[in-house]
Amino acid sequence: MEKSRFQNLVQMLQEQEGVEEIFLLDSTGNVVFKSKDFLLTNEEASSILKAWKNKDSALFFQNTRYAILKSDEIQLAAKNIAKGKGNIVGSITKEGDYLLAHTRDEGLIILEWSILINKVAWS
């Protein structure tokens, strides 16, 4: 995916209140783009993608556990239940990359976030 397309997707997602960070991973889990400067190593990103693809019960983002509620070839929805640190939602893009976002628990519920990121990723 080209950077300009990623920036357009970020802009669409940020129209909704509650978006924290947005990032794009390639098919091997390497970070391609981030919406802003925040700590996300390729190792952590790869671990997130592996948890998604393997349909694990949880993933870790910034040393916080998120229970995976939905995981299939196209979409991911994970929620931090214990500490209220929001959600991790993701969708594969039409280019074959993985668009993910960390969202707060406001504005939309997790399944609505999951639908929104999928719609944006395929736009």
Question: How confident is the model over 34-48, as pLDDT tens digits?
Answer: 999 888 999 999 999
Q: What is the pLDDT of residue 107?
A: 82
Helix (H/G/I), strand (E/B), else coil: 52: helix
The model's pTM is 0.95
Q: Which amino acid is at 20?
A: E
Q: Are 1 and 31 in contact (CB under 8 A)?
A: no
Question: What is the DSSP annotation of 32-50?
Answer: EEESS-----HHHHHHHHH
Confidence of residue 58 (pLDDT cuts 50, 70, 90): very high
pLDDT at position 95, please? 95
Q: Which CATH class is domain 3-121?
A: alpha beta
How much is the mean pLDDT over the chain? Answer: 95
Say how many CA atoms lie within 13 Å of 111 toward its Cβ.
2
**Max CA pair span of the chain:** 37
